[in-house]
Amino acid sequence: MLTRVLFLLVLICGTAGQAFAEETKVLALGLANREVTVDDLAKGTPPVPRFNSPAIAYVLAADLKKGDTVEISLANGEGPLLTNSETLSEDKETYMLLAGKRAVPAGGWPQEWKYSAAVKITRDGKTLIEQSSPPIPFE
């Protein structure tokens, strides 16, 4: 009887541990002055945009499922400026999505604003994660 109880506990704990290990999470979220890759992030935080440089919002997320929608926005205090979203066609261990502008707007980015990256991940119509990076000025 004790063996069966211990087996059941191991089975339950193992299943719970596996479900916890596969919880969707944001690994990196921020702004860069160029398109970034997973390798770039592994080397450190990319340079932040300036008023006269491109501005790209990025998110690196983990443990996404088929049908999840990932939306990333380059935002200012008034709301999203540029947005990109994708619904996944298969499970992804890690996934990176970018949104932004590869060129500098005429006259540069307005310096009176502070900018941030905002991500929203949904599954089955329910929001799993909604998160923003700290707002920064483009100096």
Span 41-56, pLDDT tens digits: 999 888 999 999 999 9
pLDDT confidence of residue 6:
36
Sort residue 124 into left (φ over 0), alpha (ψ -120 to 50) or beta: left
Q: Do the beta carbons of residue 113 and residue 77 sit within 8 Å?
A: yes
At 108 the pLDDT is 92
pLDDT > 70: what percent of the chain?
A: 85
Q: Kindly report the CATH class assigned to 23-137.
A: mainly beta
What is the arithmetic mean of pLDDT over 83-93?
Answer: 97
Kindly state the percentage of the chain with pLDDT values over 90.
74
Q: What is the reported pLDDT for 4?
A: 41
Half-sphere exposure of 36 (CA within 13 A, CB side): 30
Three-state secondary structure along 33-81? CCCCCHHHHHHCCCCCCCCCCCEEEEEEEEEECCCCEEEEEEEECCEEE
Of the pLDDT bands very low, low, confident and very high (cuts 50, 70, 90), residue 77 is confident
Structure-block tokens of residue 139: 């100096």
Per-residue pLDDT of 101-132, as tens digits, reads 988 989 899 989 999 999 999 999 999 999 99
Q: Indicate the domain borders of the chain.
A: 23-137
pLDDT for position 5: 35
pLDDT for residue 45: 85
pLDDT of residue 10: 39
16 or 128, higher pLDDT: 128
CA distances from 99 to 2, 70, 84, 86, 103 (A): 56, 11, 5, 11, 12
Average pLDDT over residues 27-53: 93
